[in-house]
Structures are given as structure tokens and as C-alpha cells.
A and B are shown apart, each in its own frame.
Chain A
């Protein structure tokens, strides 16, 4: 199954790639979507992005990928 970007609906084979796309694009709509998700859990788009860029591993990507997977049904 393919995964869709919850904002612009572009598709990729796995959710990690969608997460990467969302960080990479980083425009207002993509940012806002992540910020909305993070509200309850206390993180923002920029927090995740900086975490990803400054620490080894893929923690932020994986976190975002999970959110994206959860959001797939609603798309």
C-alpha cells in the first residue's frame, strides 16, 4: 500500500519517505499540519526537524511517520 502526504496528497511507498518529504518541503501547510499533531504531545515541526538534523538516527522521522500512518484513514 502507498502512503499519502496528509497535506498535498503526494504518494510514496513507505511512511518514512512521506515524513522526509514533509520535512523537506517545510512550507506553511506542511508545518502547520505537524504543529497541529504536536500540540497534545508538546513538540513542533521545527523541534522535530532540528532533532533530526542534530542527532544521529531517525527518531524524528519515525515519530512523524507514525503520525502519518495514523492519519492515512482520514485521507
Chain B
């Protein structure tokens, strides 16, 4: 069904990279795991949000007196009456980019934007009450595409943002013009990349409870409780410390759940007005039309190479459809430009990105964070260049790839890089297949990704990750982390690192996460940061605790001080004499006694320093996809796939496989199924009947060859694993179509119509050519 191989494994560990079950597993397979969706508090009310039917309109008046007359309705809140009207944004260090009032005071900018919220004793009553809220709008002209929104006479979406330009980004290194001069072949193309819904199985959900002592407790489905705490404090004018955010089990995130959403904001504002807990759960339709999405992009790419395939220069210009607000879109704009250069060495590279406001659903981060779009364009164009020059596409890529020690000028230093071996693995996979049936072809695509961002736009005074290890007298361990488990397995990964470091068993570790009252602050689950950053923090905390234990062990052992003591598998021993040891539990008891009864506690943290502009470490991968196409219908079927992947030292074996397979399914969906068509600002398929995604029958084998490298900056040599694999697939599918039919797909997702159109066009040009002859 699936093959998973590790290429040159080099380490011996007791817990790391062994078959460890997810530590939340039993709760999840027995239905015990309670999500925000399941939270029920005494005296709880249910909230619903009234949403704008207009893409662009002034709110003139909101009259909710009729709603208040309905029996069971407890209260209504509006932006004007019940909020401070603070414009917020997750890039809170930059005032200009804080542009969103979750309940807008005087203007709506996209269809589905919250306008008012109501709380009632049941969800049905709250829902009904929405019909009794009367809103007067002055409808304004809307604009929906970035290339229209930058026109001189386009409607102004945010005051003072000339031509609706929200953010611009420029990345440049080398003498680009000179490098283009050197090139013997230059190719330019325009691409269009679509949006994508995060489509977490748990829709946005929050339960807020504000109490008369001025404290606010929020259960919320999110990727970073610490961000929520900070952002909510900002918009409510409260102290962070008076807000507690609890996110125990989260039903998926994928980059869509670390900004304020309507559920958390409206439930808190309602609760503060009514002094009762208020629960808001989005319907699937609300989740589609009123959260955020992957950023749609227009990409212009110009690439210059030598005839022998040596890469010289690349220039890219990108316009992104930012939708109504900034969100994490500013980061996506930077990262797409950076990863567009990956994984290759360019003498000269220049990127200009423009994020443009439109009257559509705001766009933001989503798994891959701008890189899937970048790779769709880059990796196809590279394939076409190889074909234009008659070169082998794998050899050409290999020749220009990053390698250990390479410096992306001014941006990053590559400390570990396994891309070279990836080429071998994929070549082998292709060769082993031999001749393919006529309706099939293979496409490949390379890419890389970061292991956590080093930028501090959130302006946190805290270290980026922190952990506390506290050892009980029986040797069991409480591990407190601010890192957030959203299904990616971070609790398990961190428990593994903790167990390995302390020298205990995985079942000795209890992980506490997802609660700002008890867990140390951490930026949370995004940008593939937790394994490296929280992992380092956990390792440091465990080492600190272990050191205290070993001090006692030394004191009592009578060994010459040049001997090294260690704990492995709960066995305390001199490394030179492993057989002469004793039980770790015994040592813990003694150590606590020796500390006058204090618990053994270790603390750890991670803050990146001098790690370039983007990230401390980069993963690499090359993917091959075997695609079958029905020429009559244009329908695509994925038959098989292989990814050669370098994530440094794998930590969580089962989790890694799961992440790679899961990312692949999402990437495949982006490549050919997940389509978000808008008409005049209205999403045309906001439900799971019309929004197609990969189901079990569409999922091909996702074979993996894990290239075992060592990343010096990561804990035990680990780096990113779960996100980067969202990047290559759309391009790989496109490349398969190119090899099968010679058609060039410049738009994704690649729908059957696009394929049929391309085939038709190709036939026509061929006819014309023949006619001319």
C-alpha cells in the first residue's frame, strides 16, 4: 500500500524515531477528547453572528429592538455600541497592518463579514433573531481582483491606501541585470494560483465566559493560545493576565486558526455584556465564507539560464489577492518570494510582491505559507526550460541546487541539506516503473521549507518557545509547554524529546499544553516552528532537570569525577559500566530529599539569534507523482507518488508519516480539486458538496524515502516536516500533464475544463502549423 524507507539512518535512540503511539491517541479513538465544539458550561448562552450580504457597504444604522423582543434573546452587540473599535491585526508591531475590526464600526468590506452578534438561550432562537436585526447599508462599488483594484479609478477599500496596495515586499541579491546578461536563454511566464480553504473539520468555535471579577476565560479552537490572549487583551482593553485561553483539543488548524475570528471576538463581547458564558460555533458555510483562505496570486516569472542548464538569474513580480484585511498575508507575501528561489542557487534574484486589498474574503497563511503558489510557477517553468533546452530535468535541477554550507545571499545559511540524495531516490523510483501506460505520465517537483520564522512582528517580549519540566517523586514527569497541539502531534514529539533527554520512558511523560494559565508562553503552531523551537526548549528544560539528578548521583556514586554518568531507559549508570546501575525512581526520591523537599524543576527556552532573515533551518524534498488523465473528460487521477524528503533527524516516526501523507493530500487537493470561484465577491461553493477535496478513493499511495541528515540547530538534528510537503504537488501534477500532452498549465487548481481547453488549443495550433506547411 505504501512504502516508507529511511536512507542511511545514523543514530541510536531509545525513544526518538521509534514506534510511539500518539500520546493523545486513546482520548481521540474513544471519543473522550473534548474540543471547543463540545464545551458546555453552566448557564451558557448560544451566540450567532449577523453577516454582511454586501461586498462593500457603509453601515448606516443597526436597529435590533425587534430582535430583543423575541423570547429567549438575551442580548445583541454591535461594533459601534459594544466594542472599542480598535483595529487589530496579528502583525501588531506595525500599526499600518492592524486594519481589521472584527465587528466593524462603520463599513463592511466582504460578503460574510460580521455586523452584529446575538446571544440567546438556544442556538435556534439566536439564529432566528438574526432575521429581526435591521441594518441600513449604503452599498458601495466593490472590486474583487487585484489587477482591477490597483487601477486608478478603483473603489478605495481602506482609507489612505492608495490604489488599494496593502503591503509590498522586495527581495534581491546579486547583480540581477548582469546575471541576466550572462544568460543564454530567457523565458518568461504568467501564472495564476487559486485560493484554498483550510477546511478544518472542527469549524471555528469559541466559548467565552466573563465574570464580575473582571476575568475572562475562553475556550477556543486555535493554533496559538498565547496569540489569542495577547490579541484579545488588545481589542478588549484588558490585561493579558486577566484572560485565560484554553485550547485542549483542536480539530485542525492548517494556518487558519491563529488570528482573531468572529467566534472568539463576538462571544467575548457578548459575554462581557451579559456576564454569562456564550458559545459560538460556525456552520460549515460560515467557515467557508467568513474565515480566511490561502492567498490567491498572480505570478510573473522571468528566468535566465545558460545553454548547459546553469541557472543565472530570476525575477518575479507577484500580485496577491489580499481580500479585505491583512491577517498573516504580509508574511505570506514575503515567504512566497523567498521560497520561489528554492531550492536553487541564483546568481541574481529579484522579487517584488504586491498585496492588494479587494472586497473578498481576506487571505492569509495556509500550510505551505505562500510556497505552494511559488513552486507551482517555479517548478513548472523549470521543467519547460529543461525541455526547451533539451536537458534532463533532474540533472538540471541537481546542478543548481542548494548544498550544505550554501549561503542564500543576505538571507540564510544552509546548515543541512539532503536534496542531492533526493534526486537519486526519485530517479530510482521513476526508473523502476519502466514504461508507463499511454494515458499516464510522471511529473516531478522540488522544494524546501523553513523550520519556524525568526521575525517578531507580534512584538512579544517573551522567548519564542518555552518549556518547564517538573519531576514527581515517583519519576513521572510533568512537561509544560506553550506549543500547541492541533493534530500535528506536537505533544507527542515534545514528549519524545523530553523522554529521550531525561532517559525515561514515553509513558512517564504527561504533557500539559493549550492553557495560558498554566503553560509558559510560546508563539504556537505555525510556520513549522514547534519541533525545532519548542523542541529545543524542551530539550533544554529536560537537560536542566537531569543535571540536578545527576549531581546527586555523582555525589553518592564514589566514582572518579572523570567518569560520565547517564540515565537511559530509567537506568542510572556510568556510561563505561552500564551494567552497574540503579533505578531512576530511586534517584529522584533521593534528589528531592536532598533539595529539602523541593521538586526537581528544569526550565528551557528558545529564541533565535543571528539566523538570517527567515528561519534557523530548512527542509528539502523532491516529489514524483504519477498521473492518469482521461482525454475525453479532462479528469485527473493520481496513481502513485514518491517523495524523497529531508527533515533532518526524524523524531516522531508515526507522526512524521502522518504529516507527510496528510500534507500530500492537501497539496494534491490544491493542485486539481480545491477551487474557490467568486462572483462579485460571493463565494459560489461554500459547502462540502460543491467544494471538492481529496477523499479516500482519490488518495494514491504516498511513498516516502526519508533522507537522514543532521541539522545542527535542531533538537537532536531535527527540522521541519509537516508543512513543506504541501508545496511541490500542484507543480508535479502540472509537469505530468506537460510530459503527457505537451500542455502548459498556468493556472491552479488544474480543473478538467482547463485541461480540455489546453488540449483543444494545442490541437488548433498544430492544425494551423500543418496548414501553413
Task: Say whether A and B bind each other.
Answer: yes
Interface residues of A (CB under 8 A from B): 20, 23-26, 44, 46-47, 49-50, 53-54
Q: Verify A53–B162 contact, CB threshold 8 A.
A: no
Q: For the complex, give the distance between the alpha carbons of A44 and B168 in Å.
A: 15
Q: Verify A44–B162 contact, CB threshold 8 A.
A: yes
Q: Verify A53–B170 contact, CB threshold 8 A.
A: no
Q: How far is the CB of A39 from chain B (nearest CB, A)?
A: 14
Tell me whether A53 and B172 are in contact in the complex, defined as CB-CB below 8 angstroms, given that A24-B352, A46-B163, A46-B165 are known contacts.
no
Q: How far is the CB of A53 from chain B (nearest CB, A)?
A: 5
Q: For the complex, give the distance between the alpha carbons of A25 and B169 in Å.
A: 8
Instruction: Confirm or deny: B347 has a beta carbon within 8 angstroms of a beta carbon on chain A.
Output: no
Give me 12 other A-B pairs in contact (C-beta within 8 A), A53-B317, A53-B354 excluded.
A20-B170, A24-B168, A24-B170, A24-B172, A44-B162, A46-B162, A49-B165, A49-B168, A49-B354, A50-B163, A53-B352, A54-B147
Q: For the complex, give the distance between the alpha carbons of A54 and B165 in Å.
A: 14
Instruction: Confirm or deny: B150 has a beta carbon within 8 angstroms of a beta carbon on chain A.
Output: yes
Instruction: Confirm or deny: B319 has a beta carbon within 8 angstroms of a beta carbon on chain A.
Output: yes
Q: Verify B319–A53 contact, CB threshold 8 A.
A: yes
CB-defined contacts of A26 to chain B, threshold 8 Å: 168, 170
Q: For the complex, give the distance between the alpha carbons of A49 and B355 in Å.
A: 13
Closest to A13 in B: B175
CB-defined contacts of B319 to chain A, threshold 8 Å: 53
Q: Verify B352–A23 contact, CB threshold 8 A.
A: yes
Q: Verify B150–A50 contact, CB threshold 8 A.
A: yes
Closest to A16 in B: B177
CB-defined contacts of A53 to chain B, threshold 8 Å: 317, 319, 352, 354
Q: How far is the CB of B554 from chain A (nearest CB, A)?
A: 56
The residue that A20 contacts in the complex, of B147, B150, B162, B172, with Cβ under 8 A, is B172
Q: How far is the CB of B148 from chain A (nearest CB, A)?
A: 12
Q: How far is the CB of A21 from chain B (nearest CB, A)?
A: 8
Q: How far is the CB of A32 from chain B (nearest CB, A)?
A: 12
The 18 listed contacts between A and B (C-beta, < 8 Å) are: A20-B170, A20-B172, A20-B350, A23-B168, A24-B170, A26-B170, A44-B162, A46-B162, A46-B165, A47-B163, A49-B168, A49-B354, A50-B163, A50-B165, A50-B354, A53-B319, A53-B354, A54-B150
Count: A-B pairs, CB below 8 Å: 31
Q: How far is the CB of A22 from chain B (nearest CB, A)?
A: 10
Q: Which 10 A-B pairs have the closest CB atoms?
A: A24-B170, A46-B162, A26-B168, A46-B163, A50-B150, A53-B317, A46-B165, A50-B163, A53-B354, A53-B352
Interface of A is mostly: helix
Chain B contact residues (Cβ within 8 angstroms of A): what range?
10 to 19
Q: For the complex, give the distance between the alpha carbons of A24 and B172 in Å.
A: 9
Q: For the complex, give the distance between the alpha carbons of A34 and B157 in Å.
A: 23
CB-defined contacts of B163 to chain A, threshold 8 Å: 46-47, 50
Q: For the complex, give the distance between the alpha carbons of A57 and B162 in Å.
A: 23
Q: For the complex, give the distance between the alpha carbons of A54 and B317 in Å.
A: 9
- Chain B 142-178 residues near chain A, CB threshold 8 A: 147, 150, 162-163, 165, 168, 170, 172
Q: For the complex, give the distance between the alpha carbons of A49 and B168 in Å.
A: 10
Q: For the complex, give the distance between the alpha carbons of A50 and B165 in Å.
A: 9
Closest to A23 in B: B170
CB-defined contacts of A49 to chain B, threshold 8 Å: 165, 168, 354
Closest to B165 in A: A46
Chain B 396-417 interface mask (CB, 8 Å, partner A; 1/0): 0000000000000000000000
- Chain B 287-332 residues near chain A, CB threshold 8 A: 317, 319
Among B162, B172, B319, which residue has the most Cβ atoms of chain A within 10 A? Answer: B162
Q: How far is the CB of A60 from chain B (nearest CB, A)?
A: 12
Closest to A26 in B: B168
Closest to B163 in A: A46
Q: For the complex, give the distance between the alpha carbons of A54 and B168 in Å.
A: 14
Chain B 342-375 interface mask (CB, 8 Å, partner A; 1/0): 0000000010101000000000000000000000
- Chain B 561-591 residues near chain A, CB threshold 8 A: none
CB-defined contacts of A54 to chain B, threshold 8 Å: 147, 150
Q: For the complex, give the distance between the alpha carbons of A10 and B256 in Å.
A: 39
Closest to B351 in A: A24
Closest to B152 in A: A47
Q: How far is the CB of B336 from chain A (nearest CB, A)?
A: 15
CB-defined contacts of B350 to chain A, threshold 8 Å: 20
Q: How far is the CB of A62 from chain B (nearest CB, A)?
A: 13
Closest to B168 in A: A26
CB-defined contacts of B354 to chain A, threshold 8 Å: 49-50, 53
CB-defined contacts of A24 to chain B, threshold 8 Å: 168, 170, 172, 352
Q: How far is the CB of A10 from chain B (nearest CB, A)?
A: 13
Q: How far is the CB of B89 from chain A (nearest CB, A)?
A: 17
Q: How far is the CB of B385 from chain A (nearest CB, A)?
A: 20
Q: Verify A25–B162 contact, CB threshold 8 A.
A: no
Q: For the complex, give the distance between the alpha carbons of A61 and B350 in Å.
A: 14
Q: How far is the CB of B112 from chain A (nearest CB, A)?
A: 29
CB-defined contacts of B172 to chain A, threshold 8 Å: 20, 24
Q: How far is the CB of B83 from chain A (nearest CB, A)?
A: 28
Q: How far is the CB of A13 from chain B (nearest CB, A)?
A: 9
CB-defined contacts of A23 to chain B, threshold 8 Å: 168, 170, 352
Q: How far is the CB of B6 from chain A (nearest CB, A)?
A: 43
Closest to A50 in B: B150
Q: How far is the CB of B355 from chain A (nearest CB, A)?
A: 12
